[in-house]
Amino acid sequence: MTMHQDKVGFLGLGSYTPQQVMTNEDWEQLVDTSDEWIRQRTGIERRRIVAEDENTVDLALAAAERALTAADLSVDKIDEIIVATDTPEVYLPDTASFLQHRLGTRSIPAYDLGGSGCAGFLQALDLARSRVICGKDRVLVVGVEVLTRLMDWTDRNTCVLFGDAAGAAVVGRSSEAREILAATAGTDGSRSEILTLEVGGTRKPFTVERAEQNLHRRIVMNGREVFKEAVRRMSQAAHEVLELAGRKLDEVALLVPHQANLRILRAVGKRLNLPDERICINVHEYGNTGSASVPLALDQALSAGRIRSGDLVLLTSFGAGFHWAAVLVQF
């Protein structure tokens, strides 16, 4: 029986990273780069990459099972699944279908939110919250990415940035929930050409010629523009969500931003006037894990005891589209 005083928010969180570590020195063997360049420009030192027999749904499943365990819920209590990913298990059907089957849920609705880049998980979280407000009891949200399988391993502009991971949350209504106080999201589609993977869609279908040039894996990115917009939009979304909740920046115990690049995180921290100790940073260990980035960092911060009961935690992210989102949570 749901009670009106029950809160809508996190019932449990979980994450998973593959075992295999790839260091910057490993990249030095493959492309014209250096550990020094990667550290200085991005803060990344190493990242995890999937084993040959691991695919997107394996990572999603591991994170989802951990979130269910953390929530102390059996799988039959889940009413809907949303998977945010740009690196799906197969082209059709979506990764959520595979996850629904592997988890062994009832025949509940399950669907992907794809193409939002690194903003995917927070968009999905906002959606999950709305679904619970609309009457679903519990929604499983997963952010998962196997970027290393689909990226161009010869393009030094992008390949050194990414890593593989999954993060998951059960969102529901309970007096014990870590309440989602507010959420905001936005899109500026006029900037879509700045960060895109074109080949494979209807505009430029997959052909052998394009594949021979590695174009089906080529992420076209204007790094500097992405950098500027990421800082601007993540900071703006953070302000917006605080305003929506009627809270102030100095009340925020921890900022958990999308882990794209240490310089981006520091610039967002500076704009928000938050010192390093109030910013969650794991980009040096995992690189940019796309839509898995925020739930992975949040789950690790929680497990490490960096978040206490009552803490106000601000999540913010930015990705291709451009899309951005922010969510404010009272732990």
Q: Answer yes or no: 258 catalytic.
A: yes
Point out which residues bind ligand ACO (CB under 6 A).
33, 37-38, 41-42, 117-118, 156-157, 160-161, 195, 221, 223-224, 226-227, 230, 260-261, 288, 318-319
CB of residue 21 vs ligand ACO: minimum separation in angstroms?
A: 18
Measure the CA–CA gap between 13 and 34, rounded to whole angstroms. Answer: 36
Measure the CA–CA gap between 42 and 267, rounded to whole angstroms. Answer: 12
CB of residue 324 vs ligand ACO: minimum separation in angstroms?
A: 9
Give phi and psi for 93, each to the nearest 5.
Answer: -80, -170
Q: Answer yes or no: 239 catalytic.
A: no
Q: How many CA atoms lie within 13 A of 105 on its CB side?
A: 24
- DSSP per residue over 228-268, as a string? HHHHHHHHHHHHHHHHHHT--GGGEEEEEE--S-HHHHHHH
CB of residue 38 vs ligand ACO: minimum separation in angstroms?
A: 6
Residue of minimal Cβ distance to ligand ACO: 223
Residue with smaller CB distance to ligand ACO, 42 or 174: 42
Residue with smaller CB distance to ligand ACO, 33 or 187: 33
Q: In 3D, which of 248, 137, 152 has the Cα closest to residue 198? A: 152
CB of residue 212 vs ligand ACO: minimum separation in angstroms?
A: 23
Collapsing DSSP states into helix, strand and coil, what is residue 109?
coil
Q: To 10 degrees, what angle do helices 262-271 and 35-42 make?
A: 20
Residue with smaller CB distance to ligand ACO, 252 or 292: 292
Measure the CA–CA gap between 46 and 43, rounded to whole angstroms. Answer: 9
Residue with smaller CB distance to ligand ACO, 111 or 153: 153
Residue with smaller CB distance to ligand ACO, 149 or 156: 156
CB of residue 223 vs ligand ACO: minimum separation in angstroms?
A: 3
194: which DSSP letter?
G
Catalytic one of 24, 258, 282, 323: 258
Q: Where in 190-235 does DSSP place strands (E)?
A: 195-196, 220-221
How many whole angstroms from its chain centre is CA 95? Answer: 15
CB of residue 8 vs ligand ACO: minimum separation in angstroms?
A: 28
Residue with smaller CB distance to ligand ACO, 230 or 254: 230
- Pairing outcome for strands 7-16 and 178-187: antiparallel
CB of residue 73 vs ligand ACO: minimum separation in angstroms?
A: 31
- Whether cis (ω within 30° of 0) applies to the bond prior to 322 is yes
Residue with smaller CB distance to ligand ACO, 32 or 212: 32
Structure tokens at 268: 């967002």
How many whole angstroms from its chain centre is CA 257? Answer: 10
Q: Answer yes or no: 261 catalytic.
A: no
Catalytic one of 118, 159, 216, 261: 118
- Pairing outcome for strands 220-221 and 195-196: antiparallel
Give phi and psi for 183, each to the nearest 5.
Answer: -145, 150
> CA angle, 282 as apex, 278 and 284 as ends, to 5°?
125
Write out the catalytic residue numbers.
118, 258, 288
